[in-house]
Amino acid sequence: MGLLTVVSCARQLPTQASAARPRAITAPRLAARALSAEAIVLLAPGIRAKDVASAHGAEVLEGGDSRLAALVATSGDSDDLRVALEADPRVLSVEANQTLSVVEAHQKSWAFDDGLPTLQNTLEQPAATVLGVAGAQAASMGNGVRVAVLDTGVDPTHPLLAGRIVTTADFLDPSNTGAIDLTDGLDNDSSGEADEAWGHGTHVAGIVAVAAPNVELMIGRVLDADGRGDVLGVAAGIRWAVDNGARVINLSLGTTATSHAIEEALEEAEEEGVLVVAAAGNRGTDNPTEYPARSRRAFAVAAADCDSRPTDFTSYGPFVDLVAPGVAIRSSYPGNRYRLWTGTSMAAPWASGTAALLLSVHPQWTPTQVQARLSASASPLREPKPSQHGKLGAGMLDVGAALRPDLVAGSDDDDQPVLRTPR
């Protein structure tokens, strides 16, 4: 596949470019498993998964947490196991496990190098300029706010991320301390590409850091290098982020089916005052819609180019809350490199980073208040397709406008503005 050299923040959807990838062998929990045969159970408080499994002739697989587990029948039919579990009063919900993936997987949009891979070009890229990031950072740098990026992991030594990561967890391979963005050199999902999503989490986390330089990053690895994860890992990752102090969770992943376990985790996040930002998806239509973006408990972000024109590839619909730049976004990439990537996965972290800026100034704000500021300060979109009208939320994210009230002394907001300086 030839190298693409598109460098502008335009509407096209670049495809994968070749890149030398250091090999790091991992044994992800997803390997050689039939997810549909697994029963994901949410247990009542104080109930042990192994006790429930023993009563139903099942075994507990690795992963999950104290209330969330994957059970598989040791004999008999998986459907029969789920029926029996549904009748067990100790089990609050049960569902077949399923795959979630990076939202770029459907269009095979992968990272590419335009020959200008520098930190300076990353910080001064067209998207950051159009959004007014520098002006917003005069009011806030994101100090004291934890943002959880649940994705493929990260390269923790990358200059854009080093020193910003406060805690990590790997929900696919617990032996991978540091939630490292790993490859195995294999085409595990039979897509015709090996490790095609490698670097996705590093890239997404870098965008958050560009928007909010002093943010505290929490890294949860819930997707493998092919961009695949499952309900167990994503739900457990959300619960982990909430339990460890996240104020914002970025989910640049999705599936077309809903999940009881993930929805329960989203509800817990909502109750604890955690804003969950989700990529709207790259399906180029309003049907099917991506989950968890379409959950009412998530803040869904669609993609536009740097001229505020909605892209042809972005998903849209009544579930979308906001639009942000998602074309040829430059960010961190494993091996201390910088790459461009296109998709709503890249749009979502601009909103996550902006939310961190706001929460640093207004630590008592609820997710609803953050969403209200983001929506109220949004700018109009240009030339949406007729089918997109009324289905792209409040419009284009404007980071500078979102923070502008906090540059004015005597603001009538809930809190007085608190100016932040870099570490």
Domain range list for the chain:
36-97, 101-407
Report pLDDT digits (tens) over 136-167. Answer: 999 999 999 999 999 999 999 999 999 999 99
More confident residue, 24 or 397: 397
Q: For residue 30, what pLDDT band results from cuts at 50, 70 and 90?
A: low
Report how far residue 251's alpha carbon sits from residue 254's, in angstroms, rounded to the nearest whole number: 8
Query: What are the distances in angstroms from CA 227 to CA 17, 64, 165, 182, 190?
Result: 16, 19, 21, 11, 12
Report pLDDT digits (tens) over 128-137. Answer: 999 999 999 9
Q: For residue 14, what pLDDT band results from cuts at 50, 70 and 90?
A: very low
Encoded tokens for 212: 């909010």
Give me the percent of the chain exceeding a pLDDT of 70.
88
Report pLDDT digits (tens) over 312-366. Answer: 999 999 999 999 999 999 999 999 999 999 999 999 999 999 999 999 999 999 9
Report how far residue 396's alpha carbon sits from residue 317's, in angstroms, rounded to the nearest whole number: 15
Which pLDDT does position 26 carry in this prediction? 37
Q: For the domain with range 36-97, which CATH number is right: 3.30.413.10, 3.30.70.80, 3.30.390.50, 3.40.50.300?
A: 3.30.70.80
Which pLDDT does position 390 carry in this prediction? 95
Which pLDDT does position 199 carry in this prediction? 96
Q: Amino acid identity of 124? A: E
| Three-state secondary structure call for residue 404 | helix
Catalytic residue from among 200, 295, 308, 362: 200
Query: What are the distances in angstroms from CA 13 to CA 7, 10, 134, 149, 307?
Result: 12, 9, 27, 23, 15
Which pLDDT does position 64 carry in this prediction? 87
Query: What are the distances in angstroms from CA 418 to CA 124, 140, 220, 415?
Result: 25, 7, 30, 9
Give pTM, 2 decimals: 0.90
User: Scanning the structure block, which residue is given the tokens 């207004």?
Assistant: 362
Q: For residue 99, what pLDDT band results from cuts at 50, 70 and 90?
A: very high
Q: What's the average model confidence in pLDDT over 394-403?
A: 98
Which pLDDT does position 33 carry in this prediction? 60
Q: pLDDT averaged over the chain?
A: 89
Q: For residue 410, what pLDDT band results from cuts at 50, 70 and 90?
A: very low
Report how far residue 241's alpha carbon sits from residue 243's, in angstroms, rounded to the nearest whole number: 5
CB 129 within 8 A of CB 350: no
Report how far residue 178's alpha carbon sits from residue 167's, in angstroms, rounded to the nearest whole number: 8
Instruction: Tell me how many degrees the CA angle 111-113-116 measures, rounded to the nearest 5.
Output: 135
Report how far residue 320's alpha carbon sits from residue 277's, in angstroms, rounded to the nearest whole number: 11
Report pLDDT digits (tens) over 284-305. Answer: 999 999 999 999 999 999 999 9
Encoded tokens for 331: 């960010």
Which pLDDT does position 23 carry in this prediction? 36
The CATH number of the structural domain formed by 101-407 is 3.40.50.200
Q: For residue 187, what pLDDT band results from cuts at 50, 70 and 90?
A: confident
Catalytic residue from among 151, 170, 195, 230: 151
Report pLDDT digits (tens) over 55-87. Answer: 999 999 988 899 999 999 998 889 999 999 999
More confident residue, 70 or 193: 70
386 upstream amide cis, omega within 30 of 0: no
Report how far residue 205's alpha carbon sits from residue 216's, in angstroms, rounded to the nearest whole number: 11
Which pLDDT does position 423 carry in this prediction? 33
> Residue 154 — φ and ψ, nearest 5°?
-140, 165
Encoded tokens for 188: 């595990």
Q: Amino acid identity of 209? A: A
Catalytic residue from among 101, 252, 332, 345: 345
Report how far residue 129's alpha carbon sits from residue 400's, in angstroms, rounded to the nearest whole number: 10
CB 146 within 8 A of CB 168: no
Which pLDDT does position 415 carry in this prediction? 44
Which of 86, 77, 35 has the alpha carbon at shortest distance from 58? Answer: 77
Report pLDDT digits (tens) over 232-269. Answer: 999 999 999 999 999 999 999 999 999 999 999 999 99
Which pLDDT does position 141 carry in this prediction? 98
200 is catalytic: yes
Separate counts of helices (H) and strands (E) for the chain: 11, 16
Residue 282 has pLDDT above 50, yes or no: yes
54 is catalytic: no
Q: For residue 29, what pLDDT band results from cuts at 50, 70 and 90?
A: low
173 is catalytic: no
Which pLDDT does position 28 carry in this prediction? 47
Count CB neighbours of 243 within 10 A: 11
